[in-house]
Structure 1
């Protein structure tokens, strides 16, 4: 069943205004109105827009500094409540912005977004006159800082805390930049919403239904392979991983075709890992490791969210999304260690560990993309290996690739959005570890060799042909254990903003 409350993330109404602050405040209800002013490196200035704004609500900048000692540290918040009915706002927030660089304004925006959750409106002077990249970062921070993961209460999913009702950015802003940033942030929210849905609700058929709904809303073509079609066309990896589940696997294809596209318009294919729950299969996970596995479809959630935003952002290239959906269960029909399966396209794979199922379903989708879709660039995103988390922690993801220009462009998009990537090598010496005595390839390397994230990438490379290909392993960054900054506990939606930024700049 489609879930419209999840597919339309709760967000604020956004406005940019170059009108005098007094006029902006006069048009808003003061009873639950917050005014946010920046505190830059060096402290509150003696002249200019900030002291004028404080004076407008009856505060003297010098007195504020003496009484409250606000700091410029990015994200610091100093709260000054005002007497109800006597001022045009209810609360003033002094927000540290440091040097107003993109990273500092993103941090400040996230802190502000968290501070005003549930309020009727916030009028903000943060970021006025800053570079477009910094204004974009501010908008992303404000939007995502105000996001709350859904909760299941009664018969529907609702956000834990509603975001601020209205956000008004006052001063010198580039309105298209702000609006595009909000669209990208909403894509991240959508990916987060999907990732945290409990797996007694979310199975491959459920995700496919959400994809159909989003395709109708977003002008996408959609195709869904059910169990019968997967068998008929030889998607042996998806069928093996999903064999023990009560809900059979699905493969979903979504297509964005920009206005004016021709046969020469390049196609980018994005493949997302969509394991709706991962028990580990017969190589069962320990209980603690199994607990967060409802988010093991985060790659597919990101790809779906990216495709849903392509039309609104006027992405200029053809984009195809492939969602490889399965539940890795335990049962009499489960695939086994040492089984040999046949992937799409005919390559045989010896199963080394049923808990390394993500690369098996991804291999089917990558081979299909290579053999049938003729992509100019092929990219996959997956919560694939614990080794990626060990190597780079929770704040940066490894990117592997066969083309230096593609990798560099992805890294640049990550720097622009704060979703950081680190280029990792495809070490040819490690490829021998995937050799099999009984099949074309083993899907995991021999024990004790280390480099698990690299070996997984080398396995996936076997299925992309000669394509320009990149692989994002988001196992570390795809989940958060805390509510902090832009992040909320659960799925992070990592990759949605960087992939959209990367796609928008293609031609």
Structure 2
């Protein structure tokens, strides 16, 4: 498998985040003081004395006008003389990673258009919380537009941090920025409009990222997909003038051998979903440019593994098509033969995600034989009914340890998961005398979709992440901006770069 070289830097320009040992004597015109429930950091008080600023009094004044140390709360105060022009108080809540992530995002939003911010945090902040702070700075800096007029202020260029000690926490900040960058990349891929983004575009972007991150890449075009029997991807994509693609990215760590654990990720890459002949209403079609969030998150995750030193082998498979109605579109009642031979009777062409994922799962089982298999998708609206919006993503799994490892990574990354059941009794709901199963049925929609995919997992330890419930934010809030969230990239990156992602999996 050939390794490609990209001709340009394909990463976003994030703020430079640096650690400054000792007290901040010199620095930017804006100082940011991170205030937790325990009050002002000791280093901030000492630095304030050197500036001639009574920060205790400043905090008292701001609290009297409504400021509290709630995570992400802000209060700016101008200084009329001296080197520092303004002080920003930012709430850090209880100092947990989630609250520090919110604080980092708030600082990034405040810093738009500024050259530099000097930030003082509490001494003894744990690595996980400091890393989350860095993730928040990256995610809060996210912008995407195609404006030619009034494009808005750019992200802050530099953020320097200190806790007043001589400790060097640069490595923690660097890891946080890289994980935050995966969320940014996944969000950017999902936000790109579909007149620009089609399966070939997604494959080109994956190839570019592979070139600069030390990944091997292979792309199947429509002719190769037909030759190799990827019936699900071909069927979903056959109604569009822009043909489907299947993308494979491979990461192998230095020193890997036959005993190195191996995980395969499979992402849904539907670059636009009209529903096909089972056409969506207009309201439901809006935002379907982000129906490739799962595939985008796999690409973003793969791009970070070498930089973060992941210790396992990982393959990312992205099943990409555009689901359009036309004279060549696939129809309800068609029977599809997937990779490996299993058949599906189509009952709803808007249940297309599971058809492309089935091909990816079957390819992984037949050709790759990993130790564990995880698919990720914005698969069903039903998961929103079950879990609401922006609280939990759905997790289905056949292995308890795999489920626990993923859920733990989700908690750490701020992309929480809720495990859902996989009762075999519901398998009857997707049975048919015509084929091995149908792709849509009445009943618990997220569960029957998961059961459909389970049949393609080959008995391997398998997990299915249905993240429609956390894939789109309705507002600018904390580390999220209005629109696509890039759900799953930070979760998967966090999981795969732990010391033992396959711990306990059998």
TM-score, normalized by the shorter chain, greater than 0.5:
yes
| Aligned twin of 2:440 | 444
TM-score computed with the length of structure 2 as normaliser = 0.93
Deviates most, 171-180 or 184-193 = 171-180
Pairwise CA distance, 1:61 = 2.7
Please tell me whether the aligned partners of residues 359 and 460 of structure 1 are also in contact (alpha carbons under 8 angstroms): yes
Alignment of 1:332 onto 2:337 = no
Quote the offset at 1:52 in angstroms: 1.7
Pick one of 461, 464, 468 that aligns with 1:468: 461
Matched residues in 1 for 2:34 and 2:161: separation? Answer: 12
Match of 2:276 among 268, 275, 281: 281
Q: Distance in 2 between matches of 1:342 and 1:484?
A: 44
Q: Is the 8 A contact 1:482 1:489 kept in 2?
A: yes
Is residue 181 from structure 1 mapped to residue 176 from structure 2 by the alignment? yes
Question: Counterparts of 1:124-203 in structure 2 under 5 Å?
Answer: 124-148=119-143, 150-153=144-147, 161-171=153-163, 172=167, 174-203=169-198
Tell me what 1:421 maps to. 417
The offset of 1:152, in angstroms, is 1.5
2:217/2:248 contact within 8 Å kept: yes
What is the match of residue 200 of structure 2? 205
Q: Helix, strand or coil: the match of 1:302?
A: helix
Give distance in 1, aligned partners of 2:419 and 2:151.
Answer: 36
Partner in structure 2 of residue 503 of structure 1:
496
SS at match of 1:188: helix
What is the alpha-carbon distance in structure 2 between the residues aligned to residue 439 and residue 12 of structure 1?
Answer: 53
Structure 2 CA distance for partners of 1:469 and 1:278, relative to 1, 3 Å: same
Is 1:151–1:160's contact at 8 Å kept on the other side of the alignment? no
Change (3 A) 1:160 1:357: farther
Q: Normalising by the residue count of structure 1, what TM-score does the alignment of the two structures yield? A: 0.93
Cα 1:434–1:405 change in 2 (3 A) is same
User: Hey, what's the Cα distance between the residues in 2 that align with 1:163 and 1:62?
Assistant: 30
Partner residue, 1:20:
23
Task: Assess if the C-alpha contact under 8 Å between 1:479 and 1:489 holds in 2.
Answer: yes
Structure 2 gaps of 5+ residues are: 501-506
In 1, the alpha carbon distance for the partners of 2:75 and 2:420 equals 42
Please point out which of 291, 295, 305 is paired with 1:296. Answer: 291
Change (3 A) 1:311 1:44: closer
Match status 1:10 vs 2:3: no
Cα deviations across residues 60-101 of structure 1 (Å, max 9, x unaligned)?
134313432242222111101123xx3222221111123212
Q: What are the Cα deviations for residues 308-344 of structure 1, in whole angstroms up to 9, with x where unaligned?
A: 1111011111110001000000100111111111111
- Cα displacement (A) at 1:42: 4.9
Task: Tell me by how many angstroms 1:135 deviates.
Answer: 1.0
Which stretch shifts more, 124-133 or 352-361?
A: 124-133
**Residue matched to 2:224:** 229
State the partner residue of 1:77: 74
Correspondence for 1:480:
473
Conserved in 1, the CA contact under 8 Å of 2:23 and 2:43?
no
